[in-house]
C-alpha cells in the first residue's frame, strides 16, 4: 500500500526545502541518523510499503517505511536512490525491532541518509513537523523578499539611484553586484570584493546573455568558490546585472528580479519628462504611497489598471509582460500597502492559495491586448484618484478570465445599476448582506458571476467544489433566500456589486 502524505500539487504555495538536520533537531521526534549526511534538503514526505516504491516517488522526498515488504535491502536502496529520494526514514516495530544492518550498510554505500524512527513517533508526526518547518521557512523568505523590495525601492529614490540599488542588492545578498555595459565592461559595482577568477566568470555569464533579442533572460554558474548569476536588463541597451555570493538562498532570484526591474527603469535611454515622472510615481507606490499622493506625478489620467496571472513566477517574466504592454509601471504582487493604496485581491487569504497577480498601470489610450502565457483582467479607464476602484475592477475581471479560461477580460460598465444612487445602493447592500462573512460574500459573488457553476467557481477561487457548495448553501440559509430564483440572483448580484 502506498499513500502520499503531501497535499495535491498546487493545493499549497511553493515552500523552501528544509534541511534534514532541522528535522533531526526536533527532540520530541527522537529521530536518529544511522547513515549519510544530514545536510540534504527535504521537499516533502512520502509513506510507502511497496516492495518497489520507485513509481510513486517524485524526487527530493523523505521516504518513510516500516519495511513490510523489505526483502532485498540493497536493491530497495538502489531503487530509492534512482528515484531521487532525499532520505529514507525507517520505523522500528511492528515489523522490525531494530533497523536491519543490511539496510544501514546499503544506505551508507549509496550515500542515502537513513534515519531511525522510534516506536513512539508516528509517521504523521514526522510529516507534520516537516510541514511546520517548511511553513516557517516560507514565512522567513517572504519577509526577506518584502524587506529587500522596500530597501531596493528606497535606494531607487535616492539622488544617485543606480549605485544605491546595486549597494542595497549586494547588502541583501551578502556579496557583490555589478552592472555590465553592452561591451562587457563594468559600468558600476558595489559590495564585497571577489576573487579575480570569480570576476572573470561573472563577466563570462553576462556575455552569454548579451543584447540579442529573444535570448536568455538569466544565467547562473560558479566561479572562485562563489555562486554567480547574471540577468539581462530591459530596454534593449544590452546592460546586464551580475551578482556573486557565497550562498544562494531560495529568495535570492526574486530579490535580484526586483533589482532588475528597478535598474531597467533607471537606465532606460532617452527618457521623456513624462515617462520619468511616471517612473518616480512607481517608486512612490512601491514605497507604500497611496494613489492620491502620486496624482501630481502621474497626472490626472485617465489610466487603466491591469491584473495578470501566468508567466513563470519570476519578476523577469513580469517585466517582459510590462514591456509587451508598453509600460514600465509594474508591481509584481506586493502584499498589503498603505491606507488608500490599491488593494491586493485576496490579501491575507491568498497567501495559502496561489501567487498574487502582477499589476500594471497604463494610460487609458494604450491598447491592451492578450499576451502569450498570461491571463489579463482590465479595468475601465479611471482618473488618478480612482485607481483604488479601478484596481478592484481589474481584480474581478482577472478572476472571471481565470474561471472562463479566457486570455483577456475587461471590466463591464454598470449599466442599469448606474441609474441608482450609489449611496442608497450601498446602504441597501450592507443591510441585505450583513449576515454574510467576507468569505461567503466573495464566494457568492464569484458563483453568481459564473452563472452558478460549481466547478468554475472552484477554479476561480482555488478551492474545492464541495467547499463552494457548502458556502453557497450556508449563504442561502443566512439570507433566507432561494438562490435558484433568477429574481433573487439578480437582487443579490446588484447588492454585491454595490457593496
State the DSSP string of 325-338.
Answer: HT---EE------S
Whole-number pLDDT of residue 443: 92
Q: What is the pLDDT of residue 5?
A: 38
Residue 174 CB partners (closer than 8 Å, separation 6+)? 192, 245, 246, 247
Contacts of 490 (CB under 8 A, 6+ apart): none
- At the fourth CATH level, the homologous superfamily of domain 418-498 is PucR C-terminal helix-turn-helix domain (1.10.10.2840)
| DSSP annotation of 69 | T
The number of angstroms, rounded, from the C-alpha of 99 to the middle of its chain's C-alpha atoms is: 41
CATH code for the structural domain at 158-267: 3.30.450.30
Q: What pLDDT score does 146 carry?
A: 83
| 349: CB partners within 8 A, 6+ apart | 439
Residue 418 has which C-alpha cell? 448606474
CATH number of the structural domain 2-135: 3.40.1390.20
CB 209 within 8 A of CB 232: yes
Q: Say if CB 228 and CB 202 are below 8 A apart.
A: yes
Cα dist. 203→240, 242, 291, 493 in Å? Answer: 9, 8, 40, 58
Nearest partner of 460 among 397, 399, 410, judged by Cα:
399
Radius of gyration over alpha carbons of the chain, in Å? 27
Residue 455's nearest CA partner among 465, 440, 470, 443 is 465
User: 65, 105, 71: which is closest to 85 by C-alpha?
Assistant: 65
- How far apart CA 206 and CA 5 sit, in angstroms, is 42
Q: Is 376 left (phi over 0), alpha (psi -120 to 50) or beta?
A: beta
Angle, helices 486-498 vs 438-449, to 10°: value is: 120
Contact call for residues 384 and 301 (beta carbons, < 8 A):
yes
Looking at residue 3, its pLDDT comes to 39
Beta-sheet pairing, 175-180 with 87-91: unpaired
- Model pTM above 0.85: no
* C-alpha span between 364 and 379 (Å, rounded): 10
Residue with cell 537606465: 267
What residues contact residue 364 under an 8 Å CB cut-off, 6+ apart? 301, 302, 303, 304, 381, 382
**Cβ–Cβ < 8 Å for 45, 5:** yes
Domain boundaries, given as residue ranges, for the chain:
2-135, 158-267, 288-413, 418-498
Distance CA 47, CA 488 (A): 49
DSSP 167-229: HHHHHHHTEEEEEE-TTS-EEEEEES---HHHHHHHHHHHHHHTT-TT--SEEEEEETTEEEE
Note the pLDDT of residue 426: 81
Measured CA to CA, the distance from residue 293 to residue 42 in angstroms comes to: 46
260 to 26, 134, 248, 263, 396: CA distances (angstroms): 39, 28, 17, 5, 29
Contact by Cβ (8 Å): 252, 220: no
Is residue 264 within 8 A of residue 240, CB to CB? The reply is no
User: Helical H runs in 287-370?
Assistant: 291-298, 315-325
pLDDT by residue, tens only, the chain of 499 residues: 333 333 333 333 456 789 999 999 999 999 999 999 999 999 989 999 999 999 889 889 999 999 999 999 999 999 999 999 999 999 998 899 999 999 999 999 999 999 999 999 999 999 999 999 998 888 888 888 888 888 888 888 888 889 999 999 999 999 999 999 888 888 899 999 999 999 999 998 888 875 555 557 788 889 888 999 998 887 656 789 999 999 888 788 888 888 888 888 788 764 444 555 565 665 555 555 665 565 556 666 788 889 998 876 655 667 667 767 767 555 655 433 333 333 333 222 233 345 567 888 888 887 888 888 889 999 988 887 787 788 888 888 898 888 888 899 998 766 665 556 667 778 888 889 999 998 899 999 999 988 889 988 988 888 898 989 999 999 999 999 899 888 888 889 888 877 7
CB 127 within 8 Å of CB 42: no
Q: What is the DSSP string of 90-108?
A: EE-SSS-SS--HHHHHHHH
Give me 150's grid cell: 522596500
Amino acid at each position: 500500500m502506498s499513500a502520499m502524505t503531501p497535499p495535491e500539487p498546487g493545493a499549497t504555495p511553493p515552500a523552501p526545502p528544509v534541511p534534514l538536520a532541522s528535522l533531526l533537531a526536533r527532540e520530541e521526534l527522537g529521530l536518529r541518523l544511522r547513515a549519510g549526511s544530514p545536510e540534504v534538503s527535504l521537499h516533502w514526505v512520502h509513506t510507502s510499503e511497496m516492495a518497489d516504491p520507485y513509481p510513486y516517488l517524485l524526487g527530493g522526498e523523505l521516504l518513510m517505511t516500516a519495511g513490510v515488504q523489505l526483502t532485498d535491502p540493497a536493491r530497495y536502496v538502489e531503487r530509492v536512490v534512482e528515484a531521487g529520494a532525499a532520505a529514507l526514514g525507517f520505523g522500528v516495530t511492528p515489523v522490525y525491532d531494530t533497523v536491519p544492518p543490511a539496510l544501514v550498510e546499503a544506505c551508507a554505500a549509496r550515500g542515502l541518509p537513513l534515519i531511525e524512527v522510534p516506536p513512539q513517533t508516528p509517521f504523521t508526526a514526522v510529516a507534520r513537523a516537516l510541514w511546520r518547518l517548511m511553513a516557517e521557512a516560507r514565512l522567513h523568505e517572504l519577509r526577506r523578499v518584502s524587506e529587500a523590495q522596500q530597501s531596493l525601492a528606497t535606494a531607487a529614490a535616492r539622488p544617485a539611484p543606480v549605485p544605491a540599488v546595486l549597494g542595497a542588492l549586494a547588502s541583501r545578498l551578502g556579496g557583490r553586484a555589478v552592472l555590465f555595459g553592452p561591451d562587457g565592461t563594468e559600468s558600476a559595482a558595489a559590495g564585497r570584493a571577489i576573487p579575480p577568477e570569480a570576476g572573470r566568470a561573472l563577466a563570462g555569464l553576462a556575455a552569454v546573455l548579451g543584447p540579442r533579442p529573444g535570448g536568455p533572460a538569466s544565467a547562473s554558474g560558479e566561479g572562485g568558490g562563489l555562486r554567480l548569476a547574471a540577468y539581462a536588463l530591459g530596454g534593449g541597451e544590452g546592460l546586464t546585472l551580475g551578482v556573486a555570493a557565497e550562498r544562494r538562498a531560495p529568495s535570492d532570484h526574486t530579490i535580484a528580479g526586483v533589482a532588475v526591474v528597478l535598474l531597467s527603469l533607471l537606465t532606460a535611454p532617452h527618457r521623456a519628462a513624462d515617462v520619468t515622472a511616471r517612473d518616480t510615481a512607481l517608486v512612490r507606490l512601491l514605497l507604500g504611497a497611496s494613489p492620491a499622493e502620486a496624482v501630481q506625478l502621474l497626472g490626472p489620467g485617465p489610466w487603466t489598471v491591469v491584473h495578470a496571472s501566468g508567466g513563470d513566477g519570476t519578476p523577469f517574466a513580469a517585466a517582459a509582460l510590462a514591456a509587451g504592454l508598453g509600460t514600465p509601471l509594474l508591481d509584481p504582487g506586493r502584499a498589503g500597502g498603505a491606507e488608500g493604496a490599491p488593494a491586493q485581491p485576496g490579501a491575507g487569504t491568498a497567501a495559502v492559495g496561489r501567487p498574487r497577480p502582477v499589476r500594471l498601470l497604463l494610460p487609458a489610450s494604450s491598447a491592451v491586448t492578450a499576451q502569450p502565457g498570461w491571463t489579463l483582467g482590465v479595468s475601465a479607464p479611471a482618473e488618478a484618484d480612482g485607481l483604488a476602484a479601478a484596481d478592484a475592477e481589474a481584480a474581478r475581471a482577472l478572476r472571471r478570465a481565470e474561471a472562463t479560461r479566457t486570455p483577456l477580460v475587461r471590466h463591464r460598465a454598470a449599466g442599469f445599476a448606474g441609474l441608482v444612487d450609489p449611496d442608497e445602493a450601498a446602504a441597501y447592500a450592507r443591510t441585505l448582506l450583513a449576515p454574510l462573512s467576507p468569505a461567503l460574500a466573495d464566494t457568492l459573488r464569484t458563483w453568481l458571476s459564473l452563472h452558478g457553476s460549481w466547478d468554475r467557481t472552484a477554479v476561480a477561487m482555488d478551492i474545492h467544489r464541495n467547499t463552494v457548495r457548502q458556502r453557497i448553501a450556508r449563504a442561502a440559509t443566512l439570507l433566507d433566500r432561494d438562490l435558484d430564483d433568477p429574481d433573487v440572483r439578480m437582487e443579490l448580484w446588484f447588492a454585491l456589486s454595490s457593496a
